[in-house]
Structure 1
Amino acid sequence: MDSLFLILLAALCALVLGTACATITFYVLASGLPRVQKGVVAFFHPFADGGGGGERVLCSILAPPGTTQPCVPRTAQVAIFVREGVTAERLLQDAQSRFNIRIEKPIRVIPLRRTHLVKPERYPRFTLLRQALGSVALGLEALRQLVPEVYIDTTGWAFPYPFAWKAGSRVVAYVHYPTISSDMLGRVWSGTATYNNDADIAESPVKTTIKLLYYRVVALWYGVCGCVTAVTCVNSSWTRDHIQRIWFLGRAPLLVYPPVDTRELLQLPLDRKLKQLYLVSVNQFRPEKNHRLQLEAFALAKRMAGPTLQGQAVREAKLKFIGGCRNADDEARLAALQQYAHELGLADCVEWIVNASFSELKSQLGGAVGGLHTMVDEHFGISVVEYMAAGVVPIAHNSAGPKQDIVKPVQGDDGCEQVTGFLSTSAEEYSEAITRVLTMDQRERMKIAAAAQKQAMAFSTERFLHDFTAVVAPVLPR
């Protein structure tokens, strides 16, 4: 106990001294930034070519389809802080091919050379803190090139906010996922081993206590940075709850659901010709997406399938993975998943579709009966909404966005509640849901799919544009 007390005392002293040093450093660094460029709206999005939900938000803000009042005033100049090597032309092409979004407004690209500083694989230990410091360095690199009148962050890196604020920018945050949350602290406290809490730490009370203190310090820093925003938007009820607790000194966060291109997906017929039963999984190949659980559940469903015609339907069904690879790490992860599918005996019934275009995604969703999602605490879950809009029955993780906002019952035509999909946690629960979706009759599937489509309409691009424009209009250049 004495050694633990000394560790905690030393950490507290370091916190006090570190705060004083950080304050002095902050004023020195911020004083050297250039003057504000009036009429410029800049988006901090270092990996704007990533192809994920955050990139869809960015593209939708820049190109509201069929509206007479764009999010950003037509007279304002638009700049994007993005990693070096990405051109404006490439961003426009990606928006068109990946999201079916045509951006006509001219954009200026501000290249960032140090984007490697925020990559988690660079830091095997103290990842959160070192990424935070890396984001400060990256933010300063951006602001040394341009200090905009309005600084809009669509990635979640809050640690550079004070520098943009001190330099004279009005800061707008669209938070997809809190950098640190009470759920993360809870998992560390309970000794749960996850992708961001090693088993070595989870099994040691002393290491757990130190990590909790470390997380608390980062959370305090994170909360202070969030206080300087002029507008804070969040993408889900789950994210709003966490941001309210951590940014408690700042402005109340405003819920603005992210845009999902439901218009074309809603046109897909519910009464589809099912030549081959298959499920889809639409997710980037990232560790938190937990594709391994999907493979395990699919394999379990096939092993448990009986000798009946329904069992035969499960045994003959396929699973199609549709996802993006951002870099070599994602490609290595994909190769490992393909090997795991082979080990589970699924090589002949699993298909991999990498970096698919929107037209390919739409085509695959148009023939699927179910869609898998297995990420724990997914802040929102755009892929789940896409399933529902396309008439694909979702099987999502029973947490965060899918649980609180998306896969919720709706009132049917008969006045009774109608389920819109299924929520699961374990491989066994997923296996049962997979079997049910693959073996249900056409009438039941269409009833669930119709209710799911009704729920998906609440997350349209039009609703996002209306809500986002309303909350940011007061701080944009006039």
Structure 2
Amino acid sequence: MLIVALIAAILVAFSIGPINGRRRRKRAVGLFHPYTNDGGGGERVLWCAVRGIQEESPHLDCYVYTGDHDATPQSLMARSLDRFGVSLLSPPKVVHLYKRKWIEETTYPHFTMIGQSLGSMYLAWEALCKLTPIYYFDTCGYAFTYPLARLFGCKVICYTHYPTISSDMLSRVRHRSLMYNNDALITKSVWLSKCKIVYYTFFSCLYGIVGSCAHLAMVNSSWTKSHIENLWRVPDRIKRVYPPCDTSGLQVLPLDRSAEIPVMISVAQFRPEKAHILQLEAFSAAIKRLDPSLPKPKFQIVGSCRNKSDEDRLQMLKEKAIELNVNEHVEFHKNVTYRDLMGLLGGAVAGIHSMTDEHFGISVVEYMAAGAIPIAHNSAGPKMDIVLDEDGQQTGFLACTVDEYADAMVRIITMSKMERLKMAAAARRRASRFSEQRFSEDFKAAVRPILCHISRSS
């Protein structure tokens, strides 16, 4: 029934126009971001986008659709500054949503992607009924809401961090590769794997249809752009805009670090795809490979928790550290402030990233800007856009397996001070390509034609 409703919404959006009159719509941008406390790169994009809109079109009001019931205009403005160092021109207005459980992954133990996608339509319906703006701006990748927004007569803009489904995901199912989104029950069964391929193929077709409803789609990396162009098939409406990374604030940190106790850091939300267990196993292996006469390194794992599932995952990681007998050398930092994060990054000699097919990898850029040599997963954004040579100088390491990560950790810990400073300086120069200033310029250039068009026609 929901799929039938989706198809009907798409047809209506392209045929009979908006369901409510223009006079009911606010001269506003409605930013669909149900979790305004997730603390990740997506939230930084939200606040930088709000600031960019405020600077480019001050005549438009910015409304944030959020499921965080304690959010207020003042608290969100303060959060953007305290957590991310982003200073807004004025507080964004808030539209509270009460149907957020329908996009929670725990609501759908099976067929999670289609469940969350259809649930996002229900949540967007609540949002658009409460406030129908001229522009509907999705900053979280809920593509199934786009035909609905067009049905309400909105211009649809989105910033896509990663495709909900990709050819890489299909490939893993075909090869029956075990991963967080392809469990052992599926990989061990030929029949279940074939069923999942059919499901993914069907979902991919739907995803392509709804995604093509966007009037403008900004994507965050070369990898994401390639996949979205292949799926949505509207290349003229897709623009690559690298996400805003705090390079200016971090680049003032001194490159010289204390070598008495080498510190490595990991900055990522406590989500399964971030592969924190791999990091702990690699750290344990690295300690065993180090000369016993050398001081033991310290590993600081920094992240945010969105919900109880993330809290449980953090507790599991603490138990894993005890199991690996590295708990005395591992620190966990939850939901730290922007200022505290800068302090932690300023003391690290290496930054660890381990997500497979990370669409971009803001944390990798932050490591590089702060002077911490990155050890990133050898795939997608880090491989294609970030950890590349700068002026012929190596800027970091790429790895896939526990052994490769452990080797890179040992390499950084044991390299000479001069060699480390040379690599860290090259990494910092590379990171300057992904600054907030660069995002602001590219973002405004991308949205300007749509915002100017409405301004002229109003």
Please report the TM-score for the alignment, with normalisation by the length of structure 1.
0.90
What's the counterpart of residue 345 of structure 2?
A: 365
- Give me the whole-angstrom Cα distance separating, in 2, the residues matched to 1:42 and 1:22: 21
SS of corresponding position for 1:339: helix
What's the counterpart of residue 133 of structure 1?
A: 118
- Give me the whole-angstrom Cα distance separating, in 2, the residues matched to 1:19 and 1:151: 22
Which one of 119, 128, 131 corresponds to residue 146 of structure 1? 131
Q: CA deviation at 1:345?
A: 0.4
Please report the TM-score for the alignment, with normalisation by the length of structure 2.
0.94
Q: CA deviation at 1:75?
A: 1.0
* Shift in alpha-carbon separation, 1:456–1:423, aligned structure 2, 3 A: same
* Shift in alpha-carbon separation, 1:130–1:429, aligned structure 2, 3 A: same
What's the counterpart of residue 60 of structure 2?
A: 76
8 Å Cα contact 2:30-2:133 kept in structure 1: yes
Given residue 65 of structure 2, which amino acid in structure 1 is its aligned partner? F
- Give me the whole-angstrom Cα distance separating, in 2, the residues matched to 1:72 and 1:453: 29
- Give me the whole-angstrom Cα distance separating, in 1, the residues matched to 2:146 and 2:55: 21
Which one of 420, 427, 432 corresponds to residue 445 of structure 1? 420
SS of corresponding position for 2:255: coil
Worse-matched range after superposition: 287-296 or 163-172: 163-172
- Give me the whole-angstrom Cα distance separating, in 2, the residues matched to 1:327 and 1:19: 29
Alignment of 1:47-86 (within 5 A): 47-63=35-51, 70-85=54-69, 86=71
Q: How big is each residue's C-alpha offset from its partner over 1:190-213, in whole Å with a ceiling of 9 and x where there is no partner? A: 111211112111122221111111
* Shift in alpha-carbon separation, 1:122–1:38, aligned structure 2, 3 A: closer
Q: How big is each residue's C-alpha offset from its partner over 1:195-236, in whole Å with a ceiling of 9 and x where there is no partner? A: 111211112222111111111111111111111211111000
* Shift in alpha-carbon separation, 1:22–1:74, aligned structure 2, 3 A: closer
What's the counterpart of residue 105 of structure 1?
A: 90
Q: CA deviation at 1:166?
A: 2.2
Q: How big is each residue's C-alpha offset from its partner over 1:333-392, in whole Å with a ceiling of 9 and x where there is no partner? A: 111100000010011100111111111111111111001011111111111000000110
Alignment of 1:131-280 (within 5 A): 131-249=116-234, 251-280=236-265
8 Å Cα contact 1:274-1:367 kept in structure 2: no
SS of corresponding position for 1:348: helix
8 Å Cα contact 2:12-2:151 kept in structure 1: no
What's the counterpart of residue 450 of structure 2?
A: 475
Give the count of matched residue pairs. 448
SS of corresponding position for 1:332: helix
- Give me the whole-angstrom Cα distance separating, in 2, the residues matched to 1:203 and 1:252: 41
Q: Aligned pair 1:425/2:404, yes or no?
A: no
Unpaired stretches in structure 1, ≥5 consecutive residues:
1-16, 412-416
Q: CA deviation at 1:26?
A: 5.8
SS of corresponding position for 1:420: coil
Unpaired stretches in structure 2, ≥5 consecutive residues:
none
* Identity across the alignment (%): 43
Given residue 467 of structure 1, which amino acid in structure 2 is its aligned partner? D
- Give me the whole-angstrom Cα distance separating, in 1, the residues matched to 2:68 and 2:135: 22
Quote the RMSD (CA, aligned, Å). Answer: 1.9
SS of corresponding position for 2:137: strand
- Give me the whole-angstrom Cα distance separating, in 2, the residues matched to 1:175 and 1:231: 10
- Give me the whole-angstrom Cα distance separating, in 1, the residues matched to 2:21 and 2:91: 23
- Give me the whole-angstrom Cα distance separating, in 2, the residues matched to 1:129 and 1:153: 18
* Shift in alpha-carbon separation, 1:102–1:21, aligned structure 2, 3 A: closer
